[in-house]
Amino acid sequence: MKCTLLFGGTFDPIHYGHICSAKALLEKFDESSLVMVPCRIPPHRPQPMASAGDRLQMLKLAVAEESGLEVDDCELKRQGPSYTFDTLSAYRKKTGCESPLYFVLGHDAWVTLPTWYRWVELVDLAHLIVLGRPGQFADEPEELKNWVQDRRVTLEDSQSEPCGKVVGINLAPIHISATAARRALACGRPVDDMVPKPVERYIVERQLYVTEH
């Protein structure tokens, strides 16, 4: 069945950790699309360094040659904090109530879920896919552990329902983060192993991330 996958983030900048994970994930679905949704004002983490316009442009450059990957600037156009709840509500209206909708997040973001706006209701709108990510992150809080217990299913089982489940997926680990890319750029080191060439060119032309803060 055709599904819609949404991958939210600051994408400051987009890197191969995002792109390769998105592509590998999409291979597990038939005829589906994955939409990267950059946030304007992240409510649960430090604010991005690059402007919304630059982050959007870098995303567009990165997905230009990737079939199946798309970008939606809906959160950039909305006023106020970029709540995932609002984005999923809007997508649920668009897709209707039958077809599976997935929100994709990495493990580091997953463990912060109980701090998110209306987090318990997110699964009334979509399934969650939690991607394993190399590195050390906070433990899953007890509240989240208890909540997820009877919601965890396999990807296959989730596809028969439109929302309500949590799927953990471990893809080939990619040791790249936007923080590492920003640090490298601030030190004048090349980032060609972290971001696609057109994105690197854009960063250099616009002199983004020349300082770490």
Decide: is 87 part of the binding site for ligand ATP (CB under 6 A): no
- Part of the chain binding ligand ATP (CB under 6 A), chosen from 8-16, 82-90, 114-122, 204-212: 8-16
Residues in the interface with ligand ATP (CB under 6 A) total 18
Q: Which of positions 111-140 make contact with ligand ATP (CB under 6 A)?
A: 131, 133
Q: Which is nearer to ligand ATP, 18 or 92 (CB)?
A: 18
Residue 132, amino acid = G
Near ligand ATP by CB under 6 A: residue from 3, 5, 17, 75: 17
Name every residue whose Cβ is closer than 8 Å to that of residue 189 and which is 6 or more positions away in sequence: none
Helix (H), strand (E) at residue 106: strand 101-106
Q: Give me the DSSP letters along 134-201.
A: SS--PPPPHHHHHHHTTTB--HHHHTTSSS--EEEE--S-----HHHHHHHHHTT---TTTS-HHHHH
For ligand ATP, the nearest residue by Cβ is: 106
CA distance 93 to 27: 26
DSSP label at residue 39 = -
- Part of the chain binding ligand ATP (CB under 6 A), chosen from 9-17, 91-99, 113-121, 156-164: 9-17
Minimum CB–partner distance for residue 212 and ligand ATP (Å): 11
Residues in contact with ligand ATP by CB under 6 A are: 9-12, 17-18, 21, 105-106, 108-109, 131, 133, 174, 176-179
